[in-house]
A and B are shown apart, each in its own frame.
Chain A
Amino acid sequence: MKKLLFLLLVGFMVIGFSTALFADQKNYGCGLGSMAFEGNDGLISQISAATTNGTSGNQTFGITSGTSNCTQYETWTSNEKVNVFVTDNMDSLAKDIAKGKGEHLDTLASLMNIPQKDRAAFNSKLQKNFSRIYPFGDVTAMEVIRNIEAVISST
């Protein structure tokens, strides 16, 4: 009986450690809640991630990346860089807009060439119109850009 208990305990430890081995699938996408990277909570995967610094696959030397699966379009304020930035930073940008400030919002403003003196007004206008910019959960990055443009061109 005692031996059985020990074996069970030891077995439990082994299973506990080995379930942590399997890495999660990555979740790429274009909308809110999609992340460029996924975390791993497993013990061994943490250690092994540390041994190789865990980049999987080859990242080529293209300067921009991350929008390959997402449709893009061009309008008067948006350019390739705005598209890529908003797509890759949907959640952080939403957060900054709701708070009316932040590094991501500053970066968007500089990409959209908003002069420094107009930044405070830009930030607060976007904040006040948060619901217009993010009307529903599956809003896409391109819709967000379009909505931001609509907000800043409205008086």
Chain B
Amino acid sequence: MRHLQRVPISILLSCSLVLWAAVGERLCAEESSYLESVLREAHQIALHQDRYWHILLHYKKGLFGTRSLIDDPRFFLAKDGKYNPEAELDAFIRAIFSNEIKDGKPAACKFVARYEWIKERLRLDMSRIPGPECKNFNEPIKSFDSLLDEMQPESVTLVFPDAHINSPASMFGHTLLVIETASKSKLLAHAVNYAAATQETFGPLYAVKGLFGFYKGYFSMLPYYGKLQEYGDIDRRDIWEYPLNLTKDETKRLLMHLYELDNIYSYYYFFDENCSYDLLFLLEAARPSLNLTDEQHMWVIPLDTVKDVVKEGITLGTEYRPSQTTKIQHLASLMSEEQQVKALELAKGELEPDRILEQGISRDEKIRIYDLSIEYLQYLHTRKQVTTDAYVERFLKILRARSTLGGQDKEEYAVPVPPRPDQGHGSSRIGFAAGSKAGSPFQEISYRPVYHSLLDNGKGYREGAQIIFADTALRYYSQDNKLKLESLDFINIVSLAPRDLFFKPISWMVDTGLTQRIMNDGKDHMIAQLNPAGGFSWKNSFLGLYYFMIGSSLNVGGALTNDYALGAGASAGLIRSITDFWKIHLYAKDIYYGVGDEYNYFEAGLMQNLILSTNSSISLGVTRSKTLSFYQTEVKCGVNFYF
């Protein structure tokens, strides 16, 4: 009240001040009244609720209201910008007018996509605003315009490096975007990657920190050839390219948003806020009608994001780039064993390269021997099985001999294109089954959120690789009228990489989870187990993929006399496709527990899967096991749906 009484005096005072300052400060006053009117308009149309603003700021609605998924405070101008889209918008509009310097440059020069969008949406009259001058403020980070000039972006491709043959963990794959330029050379395109930044070399810590958001994720941009070397030559992963139908303008918008994200971090979470998820914001920024970041997956699996993008209808076919390993296998398949051995000897330095030239074989055959040996020598080098000095010397000698033979025009080197990974079965599975265990009938329902087992339809997946998380089976035994948890596989990974003339990988498996096992009282009890194993596998047309492994096993459970049992044993089996739609897995394993409880467990089984369609199958299984002196037979038949 007292305050109001003073008003007339202050009005008088300010009126005279305004009169005085009117001429000199005219621009300033006009600007600030323009600012007020712009802010008013933004509020009137509730611009802060616009979807594009939420895309650019990565706002998502959660249990506790709206928040941005970006964690770097430098991404926001308002103090509570991470949680308050409206305050952030106001702060940004003010920053446009004041040319506020943020990290060494005007905010409008850093947040170019926001700036362009607001300018357009609010039809800003740029003659009334002191526009920012976006120079190359602090090299090497260029101004957006000079970056655009240099890059000349034209189009975008989504890239999916497929699973690594001997690392089922890589089955989750990875996705990156490639910005193609006016130069038309794919190799020189720019690969946009989102990854956790870490110097950690201690494996387990690295994995745990990656899972729980201890690392900061950053975007980076590298020449695509570097990524091709990394994934194709060194990691031995086939690469799938999905060109997108984004226009040049949309590509520019994508780059604008990427520019805003440069050197900005979010905490990296392996399961959801990962490499694949964050890239989707770039696509939405390019074309806001896309709806990719709201897709509800329990876990963001890179392959699922590829499927989502395909579903949006923005892909223009696919291109396949076989890895070096795939090329070696294909090339070898075109040659006789004798010639394969020659290539092997060349790569290992056991045969002088010039000796091939003297042989009485055709020019094409000589070329194939050299070409295979070159690829294989590079493979040996990346695996550190040959020193760099020896590699360089051998490499040049072979290439010199090869260069005397001229070109190879045939297209036989083109590796046949396998089924597309996005056309494989869905990554979650639900199953309904009925059967009998030790004469007691049961009905079972099972759910497996992730991902692929050896018996599932192999189309689009790596052969011999299995990765299962949280596979849960509930059973109802009608005789005892009991519902019980039959098994829970937390993790079950199998990597069967067949050995041949060129590759001698180790196959391995590890599974951990809960299962039912007969104990001394002759009844089933739940135990926890951890079973790692390693061994070899091979492949031939008669047996299919077959393996032999030795391993250890740890059981923990209250029903065990000593609460635990530690043992070792062996397993063997074969996986074969009888026809396109019929797959079998025949196996046996034998484990002797000698520390803690002492007992023997033996199990043999025949599992079969009949594929009905991409996303459905019928499974049939028979297992016979012996625990202590108790024999048990289980027969089960069920139907599975993938989604």
User: Bound pair: A and B?
Assistant: yes
Contacts A6-B568, A37-B229 given; does A13 touch B403 at CB 8 Å:
no
A47 proximity list for chain B (CB < 8 A): 167, 169, 203, 207
Contacts of A22 in B (CB 8 A): 201-203
Cα distance A128–B200 in the bound complex, in angstroms: 47
Name which residue of chain A comes closest to B211, CB basis.
A51
Q: Given A32-B392, A33-B391, A99-B407, A44–B229 Cβ distance below 8 Å? A: no
In this complex, what residue of B is CB-closest to A130?
A: B403
- Give a binary string over A114-149; 1 marks a CB under 8 Å from any B CB, 0 the rest: 000000000110011011001011100000000000
CB within 8 Å for A61 and B220 given contacts A33-B395, A53-B174, A99-B407:
yes
Chain A interface SS verdict (over half): helix
Is B532 within 8 A of A97, CB to CB?
no
Whether A60 touches B396, Cβ cut-off 8 Å, given contacts A44-B203, A46-B170, A110-B183, is: no
> Can you add 19 more A-B contacts, CB < 8 Å, to A44-B203, A51-B210, A92-B225?
A6-B566, A13-B552, A36-B230, A37-B229, A39-B383, A47-B207, A52-B206, A52-B268, A55-B193, A56-B198, A59-B220, A62-B141, A63-B147, A65-B223, A85-B188, A89-B225, A92-B229, A97-B403, A98-B399
Q: A46 — which chain B residues lie within 8 A by C-beta?
A: 164, 166-167, 169-170
Partner of A36, one of B170, B229, B595: B229
Query: Within 8 Å of chain A (Cβ to Cβ): is B311?
Result: no
Are B185 and A107 interface neighbours, CB within 8 A?
yes
Q: State whether B532 touches A17 (Cβ < 8 A).
A: yes
Interface size on A, residues (CB 8 A): 81
Complex interface: chain B residues within 8 A of A85 (CB): 187-188, 223, 225
A81 to B412, CA, bound (A): 33
How far is A17 from B493 in the complex, measured between Cα atoms in Å? 14
Looking at B245-253, B374-382, B536-544, the stretch in contact with chain A turns out to be B374-382
Closest to A138 in B: B392
B447 to chain A, nearest CB (A): 23
CB pair A51 B188 closer than 8 Å = no
Residues of the A chain whose Cβ atoms lie less than 8 Å from the Cβ of B551: 13
Total A-B contacts with CB atoms under 8 angstroms apart: 234
Q: In the complex, A95 Cα to B592 Cα: how many Å?
A: 53
Is A45 an interface residue when CB atoms closer than 8 A count as contact?
A: yes
Q: Which of A58, A64, A84 contacts B220 (CB under 8 A)?
A: A58
B384 at interface, CB cutoff 8 A: yes
Which of chain A's residues has its CB closest to B167's CB? A46
How distant is the Cα of A150 from the Cα of B37 in the complex, in angstroms? 67
Q: Is A152 an interface residue, CB under 8 A from the partner?
A: no
A-B contact pairs, 17 of them (CB 8 A): A6-B595, A22-B202, A38-B382, A51-B169, A52-B270, A53-B193, A56-B198, A57-B197, A63-B150, A66-B223, A85-B187, A85-B188, A89-B187, A94-B396, A95-B399, A98-B402, A101-B408
Q: Give every chain B residue within 8 A of A70 (Cβ-Cβ).
A: none
